[in-house]
Amino acid sequence: MAAVAEETKKISAWRVLGMALGNRKTGFMLLFGFASGLPFALFLGTLFAWLTEAEVDLETMGIFSLIGLAYAFQFLWSPLIDKVDIPLLRRLGKRKQWIVPMQLLLGAILVTMSLLEPRTQLGMFSLLAGIGAFASATQDIAINAWRIDVADEVATIDILSTVYQMGFRLSSLVGGALGLIIAARIGWPETYMMMGGILLAVGAVGLFAPNAEGAAELTENDEQVRALRMAGELAPEIRNRALAAVGALWAAAIGAVLAFMIMSMTYAPEDRPNPTQFIVVWGPWIIVATIILPSLIAGWLSGQKKTGRHLLTHDAPPVSGGSYVLDHLYRALVLPLVELVGRMGWSLVLIFAVVLTYRICDAIWGTFAYPFYLGELEYTNDDVAFASKFFGIGAIIAGLALGGLLLTTIGRMATLLIGGILAALTNLLYADMAIGGHTMQAFSDAVGFTYLIEQVPGIGDAALAKLTITIGFENLAIGIAGAAYVAWLSSIVSKKFSAVQYALLSSLTLLVGTLGRGALGEMIENQGYYDVFVLTTWIGLGAAVLVCVEWYRESRWKESAGIVAPEAGEAVPAE
């Protein structure tokens, strides 16, 4: 009987997977994932190849790299995306009113950039690139919220998250390696015009994507604001004090970023602030000001409601003017955190710990990958392009596919644990490469992989084989871990506040990676790559232990609630 039950479970899982992949939402998720990754690749990758060919100096290219701050700090304007409706476009849907215009704007920007000459029209060129980066980051906020909002029993959050990442990785191949190949044959202006045309087409097709809400949701924001003045809710004066504190913290953070951008763009080269130093010094304080301290304030507010202090004893009268604006600001800026802290309680500390550590291995390592391949191991550019771009991206996509299958068959937390362990252990493969790669070479020879790589014209040899198989295993593990991580992070978020909550939580993923790069670089200089890879392995295994604790907590909650699993896309509460 047990065998029959297990076989029935497997059949059911495969059927669910097939239904999800054939769902209309899944197809648009793949398209939106592609549209999300393409501008990222074009603005922060291949653009520098174009600038180099146009003989733009390195100092100026360093300024272009600042547009990456739009992605790092996108959570700063996530409340705007979650709350504000665009006139005349609200009929498209709460999320599509932001997604489609951003895609069309990005397409128009890329086409316009293709008509400019970077060296002689650098001012307009850089302005368009900066606007494009902010439009791309805004699109990402809305797409992540759309993915969480439209998830259902068929197109589950697990499958949608996996498909999103597949689209993102495919676009990095198209905008990165393929973009370089195309540009070498037809030129950079024509290449960017082609990419712009692709995004314009995606924006047009995106008009037909399913909406994330029904007709009743059109007034959800206003209903949430009106509910703030019902009996049992916090008194307006208490909410306003919390709003003032959180608003001041966010204003200070936004002011710091804007001041840095203005100084970088307008000051003389010798007086410009150092971007790396800004991220390392001010990055943590911005996170503290916009996430950590507001979370503590939200916890205090949630505690007041639980103890029954500072609550309205009867419905307050409707308001207009300044009080109406304050209520809407509270709903946009503070209420998402109050809901998250109130639902998760102290479990949020454990969730923050997982968020901060789970992706640390690849987050820190990515910066030093090319110095390791090209400098330490002395591979050529062609070798690295083949191993990391073509084969490597294929391995990530395969890992994402395997991760999606595991999510469907064995569950989210089991896949999260397996992905975390594998991602940690693959650092040991690089540790072997750092001391000669004899084990990886022997393995590649034994399985016949070396023979296959030797057939690659021009560059194929045994040394390339061991690099390629090492990158392949790492990227396969990253794909599995990435599929599980995004699905898990999405499951924590409430659909009512998906844009703000997901943007805030995902931004924490960047924190430790950003802070750790300086220390890691110093460790590489002093001790070499081998010790670094051993250290990152232990850190990754530590994150896996935290996943086990979170799995136990979630299982306890399910048992106490008497359910098998939360609904797809439903926010996971605390115990």
Which of 213, 203, 102, 93 lies closest to 150, judged by CA?
213
What proportions of the chain, in percent to the nearest 5, are helix, strand and coil?
80, 0, 20
User: What string of DSSP letters covers 429-463?
Assistant: HHHHHHTT-HHHHHHHHHTTHHHHHTTSTTT-SHH
Distance, C-alpha 121 to centroid of its chain: 33
Decide: 370 and 450 in contact? Cβ < 8 Å: no
| Structure tokens that stand for 40 in this block | 């990222």
Helix, strand or coil, per DSSP, at residue 234 = strand
pTM of the model: 0.81
Amino acid type, 362:
D
pLDDT at 62: 62
Query: For residue 17, what pLDDT is reported?
Result: 57
Within 8 A by CB and 6+ apart from 126, the residues are: 63, 64
Asked if 551 contacts 413 with a C-beta cutoff of 8 angstroms, the reply is: yes
Helix (H, G, I), strand (E, B) or coil at 118: coil
Q: Helix 236-266 crosses helix 275-287 at what angle (to 10 degrees)? A: 180
Q: What's the confidence (pLDDT) of residue 10? A: 46
DSSP label of 43: I
How many Å apart are CA 225 and CA 326, to the nearest integer?
10
Do 161 and 487 contact (CB within 8 A), yes or no? Answer: yes
Strand partners, 22: none
As a whole number of angstroms, the distance between CA 400 and CA 342 comes to: 33
Going from the N-terminus, what domains does the chain have, and what CATH number goes with each?
20-213 (1.20.1250.20), 220-262+278-333 (no CATH), 342-575 (1.20.1250.20)
**Structure tokens, 130:** 């900066």
- Beta-strand ranges (E) seen in 294-367 are none
What is the pLDDT, as a whole number, of residue 4? 41
Alpha carbon of 10 to those of 3, 17, 52, 205: distances in Å? 11, 11, 53, 35
- Beta-bridge partners for 311: 234
No. of helices (H) and no. of strands (E), the chain: 28, 0
pLDDT at 566: 45
pLDDT of residue 281: 78
Residues 394/474, Cβ–Cβ less than 8 Å: no
Going residue by residue through the chain, which has 575 residues, state the pLDDT in tens, using 9 for 90 and above.
444 444 444 445 556 556 656 688 999 999 999 999 999 888 877 887 888 788 776 566 666 666 777 777 788 888 888 878 888 888 888 899 999 999 999 999 999 999 998 888 877 888 888 889 899 999 999 999 999 989 888 888 888 999 999 999 889 888 887 888 888 888 899 999 999 999 999 999 999 999 865 434 445 666 777 888 888 888 889 999 999 999 999 899 888 888 887 777 667 767 777 766 777 778 778 888 888 899 899 999 988 888 888 888 888 877 777 787 888 888 888 888 898 888 888 888 899 899 888 987 776 666 677 778 888 888 887 888 888 878 888 899 999 999 999 998 899 999 999 999 999 999 999 999 999 999 999 999 999 999 999 998 888 899 999 999 999 999 999 999 999 999 999 999 888 888 888 888 887 776 666 566 666 777 787 888 898 889 889 989 999 999 999 999 988 887 776 655 444 444 455 44
Q: Note whether 128 and 373 are within 8 A (CB).
A: no
pLDDT of residue 484: 94
Q: What's the confidence (pLDDT) of residue 382?
A: 81
Q: Which residues pair with 234 in a beta bridge?
A: 311
